[in-house]
Amino acid sequence: MEKVKLTIDNKLVEVEKGTTIYKAARQLGIDIPVLCYMNLEGLGIENKPGGCRICVVEVEGRRNLAPSCSTDCTEGMVVNTHSMRVINARRTVMEFILSDHPKDCLTCSKSGNCDLQNMAIKLGIREIPGQEYAAMSTYKMDFSPSLIRDLDKCIMCRRCEMMCNDFQTVGALSAFKRGFEAAVGPAFEMDIEDSTCTYCGQCVAVCPTGALTEKDHTREVINALSDPTKTVIVQTAPAVRAALGEEFGLEPGTLVTGKMVAALRRLGFNYVFDTDFAADLTIMEEGTELLGRLTKHLSGDKEVKLPILTSCCPAWVNFFENNFPEMKDIPSTARSPQQMFGSIAKTYFADKIKVKREDLIVISIMPCLAKKYEAQRDEFKVNGNPDVDFSLSTRELAHLIKQANLDLKSLPDEDFDKPLGESTGAAVIFGVTGGVIEAAVRTAYELHTGKKLARIEFEQLRGMEAIRKATIDFNGTPINIGIAHGLGNARKLLEDIKAGKSEFHAIEIMSCPGGCIGGGGQPLHHSDSSILTARTKAIYAEDEGKTIRKSHENPYIIKLYEEFLGKPMSEKAHHLLHTHYFDRSRKIEIS
C-alpha cells in the first residue's frame, strides 16, 4: 500500500494513500469537529457527504479551506486544523445552520443529547448575526406509531438517508428539493406511515438533532401507574440492561439488570418481569418449528420451506412484508418475545392473579422503536385490547427514572418477580446479532440428538461481520446457519433464497447494527461503535453468569407448558404464540 507523509498542526504523520485528513488527524490524537460526518468503525457504516463544512481545515497552498472529512491526504501536505481562519469559518458555518434552526432547545426532546447543541457549545456560539434576514423553513410534523419527524430541525446532514438507503436498503428516505426548502423524507413528502419505512429507528439513532425522535409514550405509562384500578406489569428486553446505565453516566457495557429492576419497582410497577422469559418461550416454539421442518426435509419432503427465518425482529418483519411478500411463508410463525410475553401475561398470568384482561396493563421496555408499531398491530389485540399496551424505548425508561428522581447508580440490585421473570442465558443473548440462533441451536441440538452439549458457546455464530455462516454438526447431520444484521445484508440472503441459491437451513436476521444492542431505542451512540462492542460483551457476560443457559431447562417455562400450553406448537400455543404475515408491497395497478 502506498504511503503519504504530511504535517498536521506541526506534527508529522504517515498514512495510507486515500486516507482523509480527518482520519489522519485522529491518528495524531487531533479530533477535528464534525457534524454531518459519521463513522461507525468496524461496521462499514460511513456518512461523508461533505455537506456541513464544520470540519474545514486550512491546507497550505490551497485557496479555499478543505472539508477534512472528504479530502484525501497528499504527499507533503501541510494542514492547520485550528488557524484563526478555520475557527472563523467554523463559527460562520454554524451560525448559518442555526439561522434556519428552531431555538426551542429548552423543550426539545434531544436537549442535552444533541450533536448540534453540543457543537454550538463547543464553538462558543453566543449570537446568530443576520437572523432577521434568514428564512425559517417550516414543514408539517409527521407522527407515526414509532417515530416523529419534525423537519424544521433537519440540518441536511443526510445521515438518516444513508442509514435508510445504504445500510438498510429500505429506501423510505431521500433528500428532496434544494436551498431552504430542502429536507429529507419519503417520496412526495407523504407521511412516513405510507412509505416503505420499517420503523427500524436507525434514522433516529443517528439524527444529530431533534428532527427524528421516537414517539414518546412516557405520559401514557405515568397515567397507567397513577390509576389505582389497574394492575401494571412491565417486561424488559435483554439489550436494555446492557445500555441503560449509559444514560446515568456509567461506562458503556456496564450491566444494570438488578438496578433496573429496583428502579422499575420504585416507579410503581406491580410486577417487574423479563422479556427474557418470553425469549425462552420463543426458543421452545421456534426451535420446535425448526426441528419439525428439518426432520421433514431430511426425510425427503420437497414441499417443506427452508431455510427457516427468525421472526423476533419487528422491523425485519415489516421489511419482508414490504419487499418480499411472496416469501412470507418462510419465516417462523413464532411471535416475537415482546408479543409472546403480552399474550401469556393477559391469559395465563391474569388468570393466576385473578385480574380481568382490561384491568391488566402490560408495558414493555425495548431497545427498539419498531416494537411500538408491533404492539399496536391488529393481530395482537383481543377485542381491541392489545396484548402489550405501551412500549417504551431504553431512552424513555431513563427519562422516567430521572423524572422520578431515582439515582440508578445507588439503587440496590433486585431480582425479577416470578413466574414471568425467570430466564436463562440463552434468552439474554437474544440482544446481540447471532444470539437468537445460538439460543435455538442450544435447544434444538439437545432435543434433536437427545445428547447434552459438551460446550454451549458457539463462537462461530458470534461476531460483528455483516453476514456470517456456520455449519453445526447435529450428531452427523450438518446444519448450515446464516446470520445477518442490517436489512441490506438480510436482503442479500433473501435474494439468494429467491434465486434458489441458498445453502442454509436456518437464518437469523436482526435489523440493527450489532443486533438489538444497537437498536433505534437505545441510548445514542453518537457515532462511537466501541459502545456497541461494549454492550455485546456485557450481554455475553450476563449469559455466562447464569446458572441455567438453555431455554428448555427454564423451570418456569416447563411449568407453563405443564399447567397451560401443553406442548410446543400445540393448538393453544399456536393460538397464543404464533402469527401470520401480510403482503404490504407497493402495487402498481392498471386503471
Partner 1 sequence: MSRIKVKIKEKDLNTIKEICKSFNNEQGELINVLHKTQEHFGYLPAEIQEVIAKELEMSVAKVYGVVTFYSFFTMKPKGRFPISICTGTACYVRGAENVLGEFKRQLNIEVGETTSDGKFSLSCLRCVGACGLAPVVQVGDKTYGRVSPEGVKDILAEYNDK
**What does the binding site for partner 1 look like in residue numbers (CB under 8 A)?**
165, 170-178, 185-188, 190, 193-197, 318, 321-322, 373, 584-591
Nearest distance from C-beta of residue 318 to partner 1, angstroms: 6
| Close Cβ partners of 172 (under 8 Å, ≥ 6 residues apart) | 164, 186, 192, 195, 196, 197, 198
Nearest distance from C-beta of residue 193 to partner 1, angstroms: 7
Q: Smaller CB distance to partner 1: residue 321 or 553?
A: 321
Give the position of cell 467554523: 90
Which ranges constitute the DSSP H helices of 268-379? 275-298, 314-323, 337-344, 350-352, 370-375
Nearest distance from C-beta of residue 187 to partner 1, angstroms: 4
Distance of alpha carbon 44 from alpha carbon 58, whole angstroms:
28
Q: Smaller CB distance to partner 1: residue 254 or 322?
A: 322
Nearest distance from C-beta of residue 565 to partner 1, angstroms: 31
Cβ(211)–Cβ(153) under 8 Å? yes
Nearest distance from C-beta of residue 584 to partner 1, angstroms: 5
Cβ(560)–Cβ(572) under 8 Å? no
Q: Smaller CB distance to partner 1: residue 88 or 174?
A: 174
Q: What string of H, E and C letters represents the secondary structure of 326-383?
A: HHCCCECCECCHHHHHHHHHHHHHHHHCCCCHHHEEEEEEECCCHHHHHHCCHHHEEC
Nearest distance from C-beta of residue 17 to partner 1, angstroms: 27
The DSSP bridge partners found for residue 477 are 474
Write out the catalytic residue numbers.
286, 289, 312, 332, 371, 374, 379, 516
Q: Smaller CB distance to partner 1: residue 371 or 552?
A: 371
Distance of alpha carbon 14 from alpha carbon 76, whole angstroms:
10
Nearest distance from C-beta of residue 125 to partner 1, angstroms: 30
Q: What nine digits make up the cell of 67?
A: 472539508
Distance of alpha carbon 201 from alpha carbon 144, whole angstroms:
12
Nearest distance from C-beta of residue 174 to partner 1, angstroms: 4
Q: Smaller CB distance to partner 1: residue 80 or 165?
A: 165
The distance between the two most distant Cα atoms of the chain, rounded to a whole number of Å, is 80
Nearest distance from C-beta of residue 171 to partner 1, angstroms: 3
Nearest distance from C-beta of residue 342 to partner 1, angstroms: 20
Residue type, 157: C
Q: Smaller CB distance to partner 1: residue 133 or 188?
A: 188
Find, among 538, 38, 33, 540, the residue nearest to 250 by Cα: 538
Other Cβ atoms less than 10 A from the Cβ of 297: the count is 17
| CA count, 13 A, side-chain hemisphere, 474 | 23
Cβ(225)–Cβ(418) under 8 Å? no
Q: Can you state the angle between helices 435-449 and 275-298, rounded to 10 degrees?
A: 60
Q: Smaller CB distance to partner 1: residue 491 or 525?
A: 491
Cβ(468)–Cβ(483) under 8 Å? yes
Q: How many residues does the chain have?
A: 591
Q: Smaller CB distance to partner 1: residue 174 or 226?
A: 174
Q: Smaller CB distance to partner 1: residue 146 or 332?
A: 146
Other Cβ atoms less than 10 A from the Cβ of 459: the count is 10
Q: Smaller CB distance to partner 1: residue 196 or 332?
A: 196
| Close Cβ partners of 20 (under 8 Å, ≥ 6 residues apart) | 48, 68, 69, 70, 71, 72, 73
The DSSP bridge partners found for residue 56 are 67
The pairing of beta strand 183-185 with beta strand 385-386? unpaired
Residue 316 zone, left/alpha/beta (φ > 0; ψ -120 to 50; rest)? alpha
Q: What nine digits make up the cell of 336?
A: 416475537
Other Cβ atoms less than 10 A from the Cβ of 131: the count is 13
The pairing of beta strand 467-474 with beta strand 477-485? antiparallel
